Amino acid sequence: MPATLVAQAVALASAAGVSIYATVAMLGLAGRFGWIDALPSALAGVTAWWVIALAATLYTVEFLATLIPGVASAWETIHSAVRPLAGAALAAGTAWQGDPTVTLVAALLGGTLALGTQTTKLGARVTIDASPEPFTNGAANVAELGFVATITLLVWDHPWVALALAVATLVLVALLVRAAWRALRSLFGTRRS
């Protein structure tokens, strides 16, 4: 069914908006070990050991880089150009075997949700970087990895649940970032007085 295919594609793109490297590594491992049903043929390449190893290595670099305040914000800023495009590519690969129109819609919606997820994540990282200690960055990394793993494993058997979870998480994080920015502005505005 085209709508279900688009839901799968868009939910997976949302995970890529958080971390393309963790998404590809998790997708490869899940496909390799049979944790999920067969991947679409266009995504079968992610099950190659060298792809899994590369994605896991890049995720490890990302995890370590984002533990350092300031570096985390820079890393997220640079990846604003990478994650939406990668999300669109994963979405297109997910829907590739279907109607070309469905593939195009999946890529457009997937890229858009990946961009929204990435932008929200960037706002969260900049907010977290206002704290000079690495513990909040570490907690954010663990939460992000949990989100990516959950979406990646849910998307094939429960695509609508995965999509609803992705959108709900995006909205919740956006509201939390907005509240945090207001609190920081209030705090620093009060100190100037």
Inter-helix orientation angle 20-32/135-154, to 10°: 40
Tell me what the mean pLDDT of segment 69-96 comes to. Answer: 91
Q: What one-letter code names the amino acid at 37?
A: D
Reported pTM: 0.87
pLDDT in tens, 109-161: 999 999 999 988 888 888 888 776 778 888 889 999 999 999 999 999 999 99
**Given this model, what pLDDT does residue 12 score?**
94
Instruction: Answer yes or no: are the C-beta atoms of 51 and 71 closer than 8 Å.
Output: no
List pLDDT tens digits, range 26-66.
999 999 999 888 788 899 999 999 999 999 999 999 999 98
Q: In which residue are the tokens 């793109």 written? A: 13
- Helix 159-192 with 135-154: angle, nearest 10 deg: 160
